[in-house]
Amino acid sequence: MELLAPAGNLECALAAFDAGADAVYCGLKRFNARERTENFSFDEMSRLIAYARKLSRRVYVTFNTLVKEDELDEAAQELARLEELRPDAVIVQDLGVVRIAREYFPKLVLHGSTQMGLHNSAGLAVAKELGLSRVILERQTTLAELEAIMRSKPPVELEIFIHGALCCCISGTCLLSSWLGGWSGNRGKCKQPCRRRHRSSEGNGFFLSAQDLATPELIPRLMKTGVASFKIEGRLRRADYVTNVVTAYRMLMDACLESEEAFRAKLPEAKTFLARTYGRKWSNGYYTKESAANLIKHDAMGVSGLLCAKVVSTSPNGFTMSAARNVFLGDMIRVQPPSGDEGPAFRVTKMTLRGKSVSCAGKGEEVFVHADKEIPRGGLVYKIGERTPDYSARIAQLPLRLPLLNMDVKLSRTLCRVEIQGRAYEQALALSEAEKQPLDPAHVAEEFSKLRDGRFEAGRVRVSVSGNPFLPSSVLRRLRKDCAAALLPLLDPVRSTEDCRAGLMRFRADHAALVHPELRERVPDTVLLPRGKHPKIAARCVIAREIADDPAPHEELLLPFYIPESMLEEVKTAVRRYTGKGGRTIRITSPGHFALLREYPELTLKTCMPLPVCNSMTVAELAQRGVSLVQGCLELGKTELAALARKSVLPFELYRYGRPVLLSTRAALPVHGRMLDAKGDAFLVEKHGILTQVLPEKVLNLPGLEEADACFHDLRAAEEHERDTARFNFDIALA
């Protein structure tokens, strides 16, 4: 079982491997869900992959954000360069990115991000069809549901979170940060409004701020599930955090393999390491009902770290703080404003006490901290990290990854043939038949993966064995060395990048050919209604309803985007009931719905939020899977929606009116009804089945879009012609 650690930079990656991580996940400067951290240049990523390969460790690159239409070419260029580097996998969210990587850069291994929101066996079946080899499960899946999913024998590997900060919202569906200024959490730019203080008629507090996930006691049960990977959250954290958390869980996982007694003996020591990470209060997250019911502590400030000081005064070059605990040079601190909004974070590099430099601010002392960031008055100072070793010398010595050679090795009792870059090495053999254990292709691949010189290293090695030969290890080593001597001098390092460039050119040609169809008939508008509601607009539109409202045969059925494993049969029964009485149009809101509808090829499928459609390659993927109309992503602005509509190969629909769901959670929120944030923005908190949802008080009301073929009106929580309206990101470019 893999222990997977976060790496916001090379320092954190080295710390993770030193502490015992089997793999790290990290992002480039663009297209990853943690753009606020340092992230990696291509050269740095190349050095990390080369270093990990030397240690037989793994590197997964995050490419897990939504991509706008005008960003597709840049995204394809980055995927082409990643195919040259060949990380162990690329973590993806956007269906358009999935399509580009699968069709044009097939050497990339793809993992489905938790941002895809996959949370049941139906979603995992679709993940396999999409070309994903692993799925990072939605964090709001319970432990009982995880065990049920594993009993279904999923066709892909599963990766689960075991430690780190938790978002209140179901992954990939949060619009709250975007609603408050265009900073999309689904594009790595979240401003963390859920950590802010809110007020309601029942009082005020941090109503959306979840405790951190920590699962040391659950490790034995989690290991018994058979998932492929345990993941630690924290790409915004520093090397000290990575070291402590990896050390703790490595210790527990290894002890668990020994015995229950060994695990119990190591548990206190592991918790000591975890306590040095300065996070929020620990919880079991959503794994247990009890934890989910108490996950939100509204009377605790929604920040992480150890409270250590208070800001007394500020100046242009720093601030004076009154220390309640020791603060050392090299510590990482965050200064949190009284509002609970996100405050500046930085490493302490200089402190003075009565004009003299000091290395420690002691308890009760008023010390001046030099800083070049704007410090909030009255702020609280939290320690979020400790001093770390200097990794700069080690980092400077890391070599770049060499061009990769893909090999096809064919072995029989009479011949060994190796093909590289269209050139072949052949060696006649006279091998006897294996009497006991047949030759393992993996053993051959492992040996040939050592084939390298100063210009190349081994890439993918495909091995086929026929005739059951007995091949001694000494002969196998000689074949590898002779092959290297014969072929490597003839090979061209430039050739290893040609396939990637060819894929990019094919993508550009295919993308340029995408054209919006000329429709013979006007596509009707749709209005989504609850049972018993009959507004005037309904007479001019097709009506859609949710499952619980039992739509009539001439109406559309909207499937719920979140279906726990235990509710799959209930949803399947509702679909059978709808189609049995003649219903023919279903709105899908999650990729997992394709598996639920596979037995109904005659159905008309349309998409609806929160399934995000941000680019034409996503539309092409959906069209290939039988969708007949797509709804543009709510977050996009006018220019972005128009660009997408012009390239959409399917009829395009604009979500024009309604109160969109900004946040959905399985956590029990300590507020109901109306709440406001510190800036006066108002929201409505409502229970909806197993989820609690946050909606804006203002109604989204967009003008028409010339390029759109139809409009969608959501009147589940809105009335016609409300006056207090907003235009979301329509008039701005989405960040």
Spell out where 421-509 has E strands: 423-428, 457-465
Angle formed by the axes of helices 95-104 and 495-512, nearest 10° = 130
Give me the DSSP letters along 282-294: EE-TTSSHHHHHT
The residues, any chain, with a CB within 8 Å of residue 654's CB and separated by 6 or more, are 631, 632, 641, 702, 704, 705, 708, 710, 711, 712
Query: What is the identity of the amino acid at 174?
Result: C
Which of 1-10, 237-246, 272-281, 492-501 is least confident?
A: 492-501
Query: Is the link from the previous residue into 610 a cis peptide, with omega within 30 of 0?
Result: yes
Q: What is the residue whose two structure tokens read 């016609």? A: 720
Mean pLDDT of 390-398: 94
Which of 16-25, 194-203, 540-549, 634-643 is least confident?
A: 194-203
Report d(CA 54, CA 552) in Å as an integer. 62
Query: DSSP letter at 140?
Result: T
Q: Token pair for residue 208? A: 């959306």
- Strand bridging mode 203-205 / 282-283: unpaired
- Summarised one tens digit per residue, pLDDT across range 299-345 is 876 667 889 999 999 999 999 999 999 999 989 899 988 876 778 88
| Cα separations in angstroms, 172 against 137, 495, 589, 717 | 12, 38, 12, 22
At 236 the pLDDT is 85
Percent of the chain's residues with pLDDT above 70: 98
| Residue 423 predicted with pLDDT over 70 | yes
- Helix or strand run (H / E) with residue 712: strand 710-714
At 202 the pLDDT is 85
SS3 string, 318-333, reads EEEEEECCCEECCCEE
- The three-state secondary structure class of 731 is coil
At 496 the pLDDT is 60
Q: State phi, psi for 675 to the nearest 5 degrees.
A: -140, 155
Q: Report the DSSP beta bridge partners of residue 5.
A: 24
Report d(CA 178, CA 612) in Å as an integer. 14
| Residue with more model confidence, 404 or 471 | 471
At 721 the pLDDT is 94
Asked whether the beta carbons of 623 and 652 are under 8 A apart, the reply is no
Q: Report the DSSP beta bridge partners of residue 135.
A: 112, 158
Mean pLDDT of 458-462: 86
Neighbours of 79 (CB within 10 A): 24
Asked whether the beta carbons of 284 and 303 are under 8 A apart, the reply is no
At 116 the pLDDT is 96
At 338 the pLDDT is 83
Q: Token pair for residue 692? A: 């609690």
| Residue 37 predicted with pLDDT over 90 | no
Q: Which pLDDT band, with edges at 50, 70 and 90, does 32 fall under?
A: confident
- The three-state secondary structure class of 48 is helix
Q: What CATH number has the domain spanning 514-726?
A: 3.20.20
Give me the DSSP letters along 398-432: PPPPPPEEEEEEEE-SSEEEEEETTEEEEEE--PP
Instruction: Label residue 261 exposed, middle or buried (CB < 10 Å: 0-12, 13-18, 19+).
Output: exposed
At 381 the pLDDT is 95
| Residue 191 predicted with pLDDT over 70 | yes
Percent of the chain's residues with pLDDT above 90: 83
Q: Which pLDDT band, with edges at 50, 70 and 90, does 460 fall under?
A: confident
**H-assigned helices in 625-711:** 638-647
Query: What is the identity of the amino acid at 446?
Result: E
| Cα separations in angstroms, 62 against 79, 123, 513 | 11, 20, 29
- Summarised one tens digit per residue, pLDDT across range 63-111 is 999 999 999 999 999 999 999 899 999 999 999 999 999 999 999 999 9
Mean pLDDT (the chain) is: 94
Asked whether the beta carbons of 716 and 50 are under 8 A apart, the reply is no
At 135 the pLDDT is 98
| Residue with more model confidence, 697 or 437 | 697
In 3D, which of 556, 543, 567, 643 has the Cα closest to residue 607? 556
- Summarised one tens digit per residue, pLDDT across range 558-607 is 999 999 999 999 999 999 999 999 999 999 999 999 999 999 999 999 99
Q: Which pLDDT band, with edges at 50, 70 and 90, does 153 fall under?
A: very high
pTM above threshold 0.85: yes
Mean pLDDT of 145-157: 97
Mean pLDDT of 287-306: 84
- The three-state secondary structure class of 88 is coil
| Residue 403 predicted with pLDDT over 90 | no
- Strand bridging mode 542-546 / 526-528: parallel
Q: Which pLDDT band, with edges at 50, 70 and 90, does 500 fall under?
A: confident
How do the domains of the chain map onto residue ranges?
306-395, 404-492, 514-726
Class of 306-395 in CATH: mainly beta
Instruction: Label residue 347 exposed, middle or buried (CB < 10 Å: 0-12, 13-18, 19+).
Output: middle
At 237 the pLDDT is 87
Report d(CA 697, CA 200) in Å as an integer. 13
- Summarised one tens digit per residue, pLDDT across range 205-256 is 999 999 999 999 999 999 999 999 999 999 888 899 999 999 999 999 999 9
Q: Which pLDDT band, with edges at 50, 70 and 90, does 362 fall under?
A: very high
Angle formed by the axes of helices 10-19 and 42-55, nearest 10° = 10
- The three-state secondary structure class of 538 is helix
Mean pLDDT of 692-721: 97
Mean pLDDT of 658-675: 96
- Strand bridging mode 415-420 / 404-411: antiparallel
In 3D, which of 133, 54, 125 has the Cα closest to residue 101? 133
Q: What is the residue whose two structure tokens read 């072995």? A: 411
The reply to whether domains 306-395 and 514-726 share a CATH topology is no
Report d(CA 396, CA 127) in Å as an integer. 39
Mean pLDDT of 163-172: 94
Torsion-angle region of residue 467: left (phi > 0), alpha (psi -120 to 50) or beta? left
Q: What is the residue whose two structure tokens read 């006279």? A: 430
Mean pLDDT of 428-455: 90
At 734 the pLDDT is 81
Mean pLDDT of 14-34: 92
- Helix or strand run (H / E) with residue 249: helix 239-258
**H-assigned helices in 333-472:** 392-396, 441-448
Report d(CA 358, CA 159) in Å as an integer. 45
At 457 the pLDDT is 83
Which of 148-162, 305-319, 340-354, 702-716 is least confident?
A: 340-354
